[in-house]
Structure 1
């Protein structure tokens, strides 16, 4: 499937999103900051990506954290996964948060998130007065136990 990307002025000199390996599900997105941004512990910053795109009808772009940034530095997305709808044509921006204990410097061109295109199923909402029964019923969180550690 072909998807149209438009590099914006602040994205000049940066790569458009790209897969890093043949088996990668997500395309890495680079930071289109002017030089660098320091994220303080607990701080949330909206980072521009320097491109816009035309997501085909019936699809969404899911923005997800990069595991290396999360594990090594506590840098992740404040809403994960984030959804970009097919009718949005503005600049893609990445809402990062620093869950770490130290300030983190983000440099222009750093890979900050990954993007996965996924199909979307639209449903017809049907209101009913009662739902069918299942073995689980209304049992919620933790209803099957806590695993080997017990409850």
Structure 2
């Protein structure tokens, strides 16, 4: 796939995240990839919807990728809705039924099962919103002045 389009991310999970981000943008969400809500956690995709709601999407490229993920339950407490994103060949029966499901590829995605809503507490929402804004602003500034920032910081 990368031989045909060199602009595509190299890793399968990153290609899924790209398609998910396109879907979420079409729903008027602001999207970040590789976001750290708390020490020891790094989500593949987080988005903030037009009403301030936060969705987290974990991208799983294969069965082994999913089976090796022990942290996903910790992500749920950092969002209003939690989703898995997989390609159309993924064995979806492995995924917990109490979570959302998105089928994706590098070019787009579709929600197959809406995640149940579990509203964040006010203090937690405030922290996520502040961190989301700071990371977004830092990444944007890094694009205009890459030498001034250490990419590992965000």
Q: TM-score when scaled to structure 2? A: 0.31
Higher strand share: 1
Structure with greater helix percent: 2
TM-score (norm 1): 0.31
Q: Which has the higher contact order (CA 8 A, sep 6+)?
A: 1
Find the structure with the greater CA-based Rg.
1
